[in-house]
Copies of this chain bind each other. A is one copy, B any other.
Amino acid sequence: MKKSYTAIIGLVSGFAILVISIMTSGDIRSFISLSSIAVTAGGSFAALLISFPSKDLMKVPKILKLLIEKPEQDRVRLITTFSELARKARRDGLLALEDDLTGMEDEFMVTGLQMVVDGIEPDIIREILTLKMETTERRHRMGQNIFSKWGELAPAFGMLGTLIGLIVMLANLQDAAAIGSGMAVALITTFYGSLLANLVFIPIASNLSVQTNEEMLSKEMAIEGIIEIQAGTNPRILEEKLVTYLSPEEMTMMKEEKVSTQEALSYE
């Protein structure tokens, strides 16, 4: 787990910019409206209750924690781990890997390597791990879908609230003095709906999507590595293959590791 506050900084600074923009031009109090929040956030959440199973909606608080505590995708360390495992497997046999499993945190790696130790066939290992990866992805995409849908529904309910305000105002046009404030109140719901969608729900959906992609990439790498270890691939080739998953930044970080790895290799 890696703590990241970028999302919080974005959220706070985005709100700050809008609040400052309001305060420099008018009165912030005319923007505070509990009923507008009820219509946009509450109404769109009611629509979410119809759209998604409650067991998935109840995971929303847990999903929100992912914005701060991201599971770390340290692909450089993953390569080092695989290098060591590959060398050990070649030297002491696949069964020797069992000792390494106890300390491992990543449950996906443990499942895969345990199957290697158990001597299950490569095709079945790949199939099971790919299935496991797809199940995880399907579950993560559900979280994104909830926030994407919320990002669509919030402005729609904002507009519904504005229509309510406009219809009420137009039905009582005789009070000319109230027209302006009536329209102001009506527009606030649109403002809230658009704000929730564009500063909260849509960015969160995007954040979750990037995280899922990153995690899937690490899992793909792990599957590749596990299969190669079982096949007894030369550690150098294994590393060459896994390095292709790295970004240039990660490659630079990898350099020192590589040096030591190649030294180790030269003694074999």
Contacts and interface: CB of A to CB of B under 8 A. Distances in A.
Interface of A: 4, 6-7, 9-11, 13-14, 17-18, 20-22, 24-27, 30-31, 35, 38-39, 42-43, 46-56, 67, 115, 120, 124, 127-128, 131-132, 135, 138-139, 142, 149, 152-153, 156-157, 159-161, 163-168, 170-174, 179-181, 183-185, 187-188, 190-191, 194-195, 197-200, 202-204, 206-207, 210, 213-214, 217, 237, 240-241, 244-249
B249 A160 contact: no
A38 B17 contact: yes
A244 B30 contact: no
B153 A166 contact: no
26 contacts: A4-B54, A6-B53, A10-B49, A13-B49, A17-B38, A21-B164, A25-B164, A25-B165, A27-B168, A50-B206, A51-B202, A51-B210, A53-B210, A124-B241, A131-B241, A131-B244, A132-B244, A135-B244, A135-B245, A135-B247, A142-B210, A152-B202, A156-B198, A160-B195, A173-B180, A173-B181
Contacts of A166: 184, 187
A266 to B, nearest CB: 16
A178 to B, nearest CB: 10
Contacts of A43: 14, 17-18, 199
Contacts of A184: 166-167, 170-171
Contacts of A181: 170-171, 173
A155 to B, nearest CB: 9
Secondary structure of the A contact surface, majority rule:
helix
B51 A199 contact: no
A84 B67 CA distance: 42
A18 B39 CA distance: 7
A137 to B, nearest CB: 12
Contacts of A27: 168, 171
A210 B52 CA distance: 7
B167 A30 contact: yes
Given A27-B171, A31-B167, A237 B22 contact: no
Nearest to A187: B167
A173 to B, nearest CB: 3
Given A31-B167, A207-B52, A21 B38 contact: yes
Contacts of A213: 138
